[in-house]
Amino acid sequence: MSVLTRTAAVRGALTRTTVVRTRSLSLRVRFRPLAVTLLLALLAAASGALALTRDGLVPPAEVLGALFGAGSEQVAFVVLELRLPRVALGLVVGAALGAAGALFQQLSRNPLGSPDIVGFNSGAATGALLVLLHGNPAYVAVGAAGGGLATAVTVQLLARRGSFRGNRLILAGIAVGSLLTSVNAYLLTRAALDHAQSAQLWLIGSLGSTERHQILPALIALAALLLLALPLVRRLDLLEMGDEAAGGLGIEAGRTRVLVLLVAVGLSAVAVSVAGPIVFVALCAPQLARRLSRGTGTGLLP
């Protein structure tokens, strides 16, 4: 078999589509997005493993020993208590931001429609700041979710005028996000110095203060929200044909958008509550995933 024949065979395998059907489920599986998802997962795991060794300062053999309960106490403390929580939470935060960006961009039908651009991260940061400065820091996640949801409702009300338009949603989100950025700065000026310094560090976005007990709740929330998002993705993709055409196929446009908005806000809140309002990831990750998978639609899993 020649090289050209093998290349054509590989391309043909990647572009293949198969349909899996059960009594209550019909699922179309495309091999290229699935292969890209697996490859990205392997790259993320390799990056995490490299971060545990910290450029070779801790040999890989000692890292493996610490992970499996062997080795010295010093290495175990560095790997298990300091580096592993940051690596694990970094992967969770990245996945949450990437999924949130994919849902927002498909909802608004605009590549600029990511949560950091349209103000949802700023709203989640406002809610978290109120809890950090004037409440119990243990409820930062609740504050972030509440702030993000309130921002989403406000933006939706401002953008809802006649038929749904993604550009209107983005413009309203940018305006609300700018206002909330000023509110966050005002909250810092009214706080005590030590609280303001810690809050300012958190606003920059950091995994430096990550603790092990934060990983499991964030992972559970991410998994639950992704499970809720998967059935909505197909409906969201059908809305590209227009509300009337999607309605003819049994899709309720308004209800679908509200559910997608709630799930995307929840994903943003998961990331913001544990790492602060990190920008750019939700904006670029969905675009990179779509170009690698060469697919249409949301492209949630890649």
Instruction: Give the pLDDT confidence of 116-132 residue by residue, as tens digits.
Output: 888 888 888 888 888 88
Q: Which domain holds residue 214?
A: 30-293
Dihedral class, residue 29 (left if φ above 0, else alpha if ψ from -120 to 50, else beta): beta
2 pLDDT higher than 60? no
User: Which residues have a Cβ under 8 Å from the Cβ of 230 and sit 6 or more positions away?
Assistant: 300
**Residue 27 pLDDT class (50, 70, 90 cuts):** low
Residue 7: inside a domain: no
Looking at residue 10, its pLDDT comes to: 45
Beta-bridged to residue 26, according to DSSP, are 21
**Residue 249 pLDDT class (50, 70, 90 cuts):** low
Residue 163: inside a domain: yes
4 pLDDT higher than 70? no
User: Which residues have a Cβ under 8 Å from the Cβ of 54 and sit 6 or more positions away?
Assistant: 83
Residue 216: inside a domain: yes
Q: Are 299 and 108 in contact (CB under 8 A)?
A: no
Please tell me the least confidently modeled range out of 4-13, 57-66, 90-99, 134-143.
4-13
The b/e string for 219-248 (b: 16+ C-beta within 10 A; e otherwise) is bebbeebbeebeebbebbbbbeeebeebee
- Which parts of 135-280 fold into alpha helices (H)? 140-159, 166-189, 193-204, 215-238, 243-248, 253-275
Chain centroid offset of residue 9 CA: 34
**Residue 164 pLDDT class (50, 70, 90 cuts):** low
Q: CATH number of the domain at 274, please.
A: 1.10.3470.10
Compute the radius of gyration of the chain from its Cα atoms: 21
Residue 213: inside a domain: yes
Closest by Cα among 95, 134, 122 to 272? 122
Residue 242: inside a domain: yes
241 pLDDT higher than 80? no
Report pLDDT digits (tens) over 194-232: 778 778 877 887 887 777 888 888 899 999 999 988 888
The pair of three-digit structure tokens given for residue 130, joined into one six-digit string: 């109120």
Residue 3: inside a domain: no
Residue 141: inside a domain: yes
Q: How many folded domains does the chain comprise?
A: 1
8 pLDDT higher than 50? no
Looking at residue 220, its pLDDT comes to: 93
Residue 299: inside a domain: no
